[in-house]
């Protein structure tokens, strides 16, 4: 049964982002290209981040995870800003920002999906791996879409100096907490921050209903 659970967990993570972005496209008319571009740019961004991280010392575990969190917060959200600001300048609808966020989540879910399938036959599958996979395909797209909306809002309202560092900091805290705290504490912290991110993104989303009065 554990091997079958690994297979199901892997397939859910591999397929869910594509299903989500297609449903979003069908429901709202959002364009698909931002999601595809997001998926494509995540690989080089991750390679750059990993290359820099390889030089970090492991002598102090807490310092290592804090630096890793800050690094990937800057690299991932900074890359997202550059793409939205310059490569996707013509994609100025807030719905396209959500498409981009889902595409960003697809990269990490794809990697974890492959990892799940790779556990088949090894006997290393964690208990409840399928349930964890189901939670991840809900939480992760919400996380990346919310941060993308914050950055998109900053670009459209000329508040990037506030919104981009905020997105980077939220990313960094979530990333670092997973290494610093035990699993239950890290999950609680991330759920609280996820709720906060989603609320802030919702406020920004509502503010962008009227392009002539974008105020929180």
Examine residue 216 and state whether it is found in any structural domain, yes or no: no
pLDDT at 35: 98
Examine residue 213 and state whether it is found in any structural domain, yes or no: no
Examine residue 172 and state whether it is found in any structural domain, yes or no: yes
Number of structural domains, the chain?
Answer: 1
* Closest CA relative to residue 82, chosen from 173, 142, 164, 158: 164
Examine residue 159 and state whether it is found in any structural domain, yes or no: yes
Examine residue 22 and state whether it is found in any structural domain, yes or no: yes
The whole domain housing 158 covers 2-207
Mean pLDDT of the chain: 93
* Closest CA relative to residue 13, chosen from 98, 135, 121, 97: 135
Looking at residue 56, the DSSP 8-state letter turns out to be S
94-118 and 2-28 helices, crossing angle to 10°: 170
User: Alpha carbon of 45 to those of 38, 41, 83, 90, 155: distances in Å?
Assistant: 10, 6, 11, 22, 20
Examine residue 198 and state whether it is found in any structural domain, yes or no: yes
Average pLDDT over residues 24-45: 96
pLDDT tens, position by position, 189-204? 999 999 999 999 999 9
pLDDT at 1: 59
Using alpha carbons only, how large is the chain's radius of gyration in Å?
Answer: 18
Query: Which residues neighbour 2 within 8 Å (Cβ) at sequence distance 6 or greater?
Result: 123, 125, 129
Higher pLDDT among residues 5 and 195, named by residue? 195
In contact, 134 and 31? CB cutoff 8 Å: no
Average pLDDT over residues 82-91: 97
Looking at residue 58, the DSSP 8-state letter turns out to be -
Examine residue 212 and state whether it is found in any structural domain, yes or no: no
């Amino acid at each position: 049964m554990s091997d079958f659970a690994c297979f199901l967990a892997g397939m859910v993570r591999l397929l869910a982002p594509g299903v989500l972005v297609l449903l979003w496209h069908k429901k709202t008319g959002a364009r698909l290209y931002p999601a595809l571009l997001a998926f494509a740019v995540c690989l080089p961004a991750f390679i750059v981040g990993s290359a820099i991280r390889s030089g970090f010392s492991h002598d102090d575990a807490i310092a290592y995870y804090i630096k890793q969190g800050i690094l990937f917060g800057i690299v991932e959200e900074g890359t997202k800003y550059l793409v939205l600001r310059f490569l996707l300048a013509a994609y100025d609808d807030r719905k396209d920002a959500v498409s981009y966020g889902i595409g960003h989540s697809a990269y990490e879910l794809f990697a974890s999906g492959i990892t799940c399938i790779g556990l088949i036959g090894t006997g290393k599958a964690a208990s409840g791996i399928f349930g964890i996979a189901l939670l991840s395909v809900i939480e992760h797209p919400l996380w990346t879409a919310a941060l993308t909306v914050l950055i998109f809002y900053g670009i459209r309202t000329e508040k990037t100096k506030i919104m981009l560092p905020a997105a980077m900091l939220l990313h960094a805290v979530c990333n670092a907490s997973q290494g610093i705290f035990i699993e239950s504490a890290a999950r609680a912290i991330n759920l609280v921050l996820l709720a906060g991110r989603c609320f802030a993104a919702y406020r920004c989303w509502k503010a962008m209903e009227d392009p002539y009065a974008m105020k929180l």
